[in-house]
Structure 1
Amino acid sequence: MARSPAPARPASGSAAVPHRDLFTLDSPLHGEIRGERSLMAFPFFALSKNAWMKPLTYDHATVSIEVRPSASGVATIYDKEIVLYIASLMAAKLEAGEHVEQDFIFTAHDLFSVTGSNHSARSYNRLSEALERLQGTQIKTNIEAGGEGEEGFFSWLSEAKLHYSRTKSGERRLKAVKVRLCDWLFRAILLDRHVLDYAAAYFQLGPIERRIYEVARSTCEEELDLDLATFRLQIGYQNPLSNFRAALKQIVATDGIPDYHLELVEGDAGGAAEEGAPRRGRRAPQSRVVITPRPQPGESALSTTRAILESTESGESIDADPADADSPTPAD
């Protein structure tokens, strides 16, 4: 992933000062994009590019989430890029043994370079809108962070400011972005350390594909097998189940989820059973979603070598290739 040249940093130790100078930057990001596991596993963000004005809810098993919109809507999966970038800055600092605070100061240029956004004026306008939604969206959840729970609502960012200067012609020039990360997420990263890296191709995915990748990355070790209705709930898809099935069919056809293979096992083709419509007679089987990790390069050869070694040690014979059945066996 391309990085912009690193700006000059002040002497080490300045990050430990409680009130840092505004332009003691935490950017550029060194390392990969990473995210907190709970934010990957559960639907905290709207799957939309446009303003989503309806509340989001998730209540399944032992986890409950309620997300309320601000006047500008619920924070979207694209606004989440900023949260991931901040989490990555924090994780990198912790990994380097540096002191971390809840305030982060970075350049929009580095954010755009990391997430693959262009550096147009429209991107800067979208950044301002995204920060507003992240600060205005209200979240309530029973998921604990850092061994503590919270009653009531919080916002992803308790503070978000764009600092700029003016040129001689009076044009505004953005100098830095300053944000304050919420207590809940700060504790989760600092104390729980349940942080996972993201595939570089994540930012090229559509909204549903991004959530499928996140759910797979955070929950799938060998295989994830869920009925379609439960999977829709986990993804956070708000439209009817029939629409979700149609969207999944297209995603399955392209097979473009990084590191994971997605399969839709059809049950009731009409979808009436999953939608809750009354039916007579025996209930048709539900459609299911199966996700499996893709084999990594060299994994197959490694497995074969391991099997040969284990069989040799145990004295078992290895089946020969059928094409070699008539080949002479070398003498001992």
Structure 2
Amino acid sequence: MVRSLPQGELFQLDSPLTGEIRGERSLMAFPFFALSKNAWMKPLAYATSDVSIEVRPSARGVATIYDKEIVLYIASLMASKLEQGLPVAQDFVFTAHDLFSVTGANHSARSYTRLADALERLQGTQIRTNIEAGGEGEDGFFSWLSEARLQYARSRNGDKRLKAVKVRLCDWLFRAILRDRQVLDYAATYFQLGPIERRIYEVARSTCVEGEALEIDLQTFRLQIGFQNHLANFRMAMRQIAAEDTVPDYHLQLVEAPPAPGAAGTKGRKAGRAKVIITRRPEPLPEPSDDGPGA
């Protein structure tokens, strides 16, 4: 006879998340995820004199900026445990309901299907980087999640009910959070942003830590954001984002030089050079107190 176990014995949950959403600083600064809602089947690459990143897709494509929400949620659970002085391990068990509540997703059947697809991409995407984590480097590829499972229970009529999500975080990210402690909080409105705005916020948050401004050439910024289309498309997107000025906590300015004359024998004028300047918005002044001197 199979004994019916109470929920607490079936699943030792790490959720619900009680603190803020956090992210590891390297994952904020560099383009590890595709800026797409749909499957991105091409490899991604980023290289400077100091940093190299190579990302290979699985059969379902490269993990996207929306799949990254799960990684941020796990990092937040881990950071919260560390702050409380609790032991941490690489295995995390949480409810899809809490994940959806934190990220602002609805609780429809479609969201659960997207969750399963996202977990598969996070487990299948292969990453290679020379960025060290926790004082150690790695050669070869790793995946964001070395294990990812949806745990179900059966109702009396035989229907499956999702009870918990169980994942194992990769060694690289686990070491980075545990040892480096370069974990930064995210703005509450982050999950309401589009993919490019999310990356702009992350780059700004990881760079302008002490309040200094970020001034960067547009082409270099395109690569750091991870924008895969042409520079002209990125310039148009940046004009719109700068005009709307909706990136939380930061003000973005696009500074463009006048168009240059085209080369001999060509038509039109060549777009001038451009740079991006990002500054942190001033903290809002405190509300005046109603308690005057004679109150």
TM-score, with structure 2 as normaliser: 0.89
SS of equivalent to 2:120: helix
1:306 is aligned to none
Cα deviation, residue 269, structure 1: 4.1
Specify the alignment match of 1:38 in structure 2. Answer: 26
Residue in structure 1 matched with residue 3 of structure 2 by the alignment = none
Is 1:289 the counterpart of 2:253 in the alignment?
no
* Residue 272 (structure 1) shift: 8.4
Residue 286 (structure 1) shift: 1.6
Distance 2:222 2:271 in 1: 19
CA–CA separation in structure 2 for the residues paired with 1:271 and 1:161:
58
Q: How does 1:1-332 map to 2 (within 5 A)?
A: 23-220=11-208, 221-267=211-257, 269=259, 286-298=273-285
The Cα shift of 1:166 comes to 2.1
Contact kept? 1:135, 1:158, Cα under 8 Å = yes
Equivalent residue for 1:309? Answer: none
Give, as a single letter, the amino acid of the residue that structure 1 aligns with 2:189. A
Cα pair distance change 1:68/1:80, threshold 3 Å: same
Query: Distance between the aligned counterparts of 1:287 and 1:66, measured in 2?
Result: 27
Assess if the C-alpha contact under 8 Å between 1:241 and 1:271 holds in 2: no
Do the aligned partners of residues 25 and 123 (structure 1) sit closer, same or farther apart at CA in structure 2, a change above 3 Å counting?
same
Q: In the TM superposition, what is the alpha-carbon distance from 1:180 to its structure 2 partner?
A: 0.0
Q: In the alignment, residue 196 of structure 1 is paired with which amino acid?
A: L
Distance 1:106 1:153 in 2: 26
Change (3 A) 1:271 1:104: farther
> Are the counterparts in 1 of residues 260 and 271 from structure 2 also a CA contact under 8 Å?
no
> Which residue identity does 1:154 align to in structure 2?
F
1:17 corresponds to: none
Cα distance change on mapping 1:26 and 1:49 into 2, 3 Å: same
Name the count of aligned residue pairs.
276
Residue 224 of structure 1 contacts residue 292 of structure 1 at CA under 8 Å; is this kept in 2? yes
Alignment CA distance shift 1:253-1:130 (3 Å)? same
* Residues 9 and 25, structure 1, Cα contact 8 Å, conserved in 2: no
Partner SS, residue 216 of structure 1: helix
Gapped regions of structure 2 (runs ≥ 5): 1-5, 289-295
Q: Is the 8 A contact 1:22 1:105 kept in 2?
A: no
- 8 Å contact 2:259–2:272 — kept in the other structure? no
Q: Distance in 2 between matches of 1:264 and 1:118?
A: 35
Say which SS state the counterpart of residue 200 (structure 1) adopts.
coil
Structure 2 match to 1:13: none
Greater length-normalized contact order (CA 8 Å, ≥ 6 residues apart): 2
Cα contact 2:260–2:272 (8 A) shared by 1 = no
After superposition, give the CA deviation of every residue in 1:170-193 in whole Å (9 maximum; x if it has no partner).
Answer: 322100000000000000000000
Cα distance in structure 1, aligned partners of 2:221 and 2:93: 37
In structure 2, what is the equivalent of residue 326 of structure 1? none
Partner of 2:162: helix, strand, or coil? strand
The whole-number CA distance in structure 1 between the counterparts of 2:276 and 2:262 is: 17
Q: Distance in 1 between matches of 2:262 and 2:250?
A: 29
What does the per-residue CA deviation read over 1:186-236, in whole Å, with 9 as the maximum and x for residues that have no partner? 000000000000000000000000000000000123200001000000100
Whole-angstrom CA distance in 1 between matches of 2:195 and 2:126: 21
Structure 1 alignment gaps of length 5 or more: 1-7, 11-20, 302-332
Structure 1 segments, 4+ long, off by >3 Å, are 268-273
- CA drift at 1:168: 2.8
1:254–1:271: structure 2 CA closer, same or farther, 3 Å change rule? Answer: farther
SS in 1 for 2:189: helix
1:61 is displaced (CA, Å) by 2.7
In structure 2, the CA distance between the partners of 1:226 and 1:81, relative to structure 1 (3 Å rule), is same
Question: How high is the TM-score relative to the length of structure 1?
Answer: 0.79
Q: What is the CA–CA distance in structure 1 between the aligned matches of 2:20 and 2:12, rounded to whole Å?
A: 21
- Give the direction of change, closer, same or farther, for the CA distance of 1:223–1:182 in structure 2 (3 Å limit): same
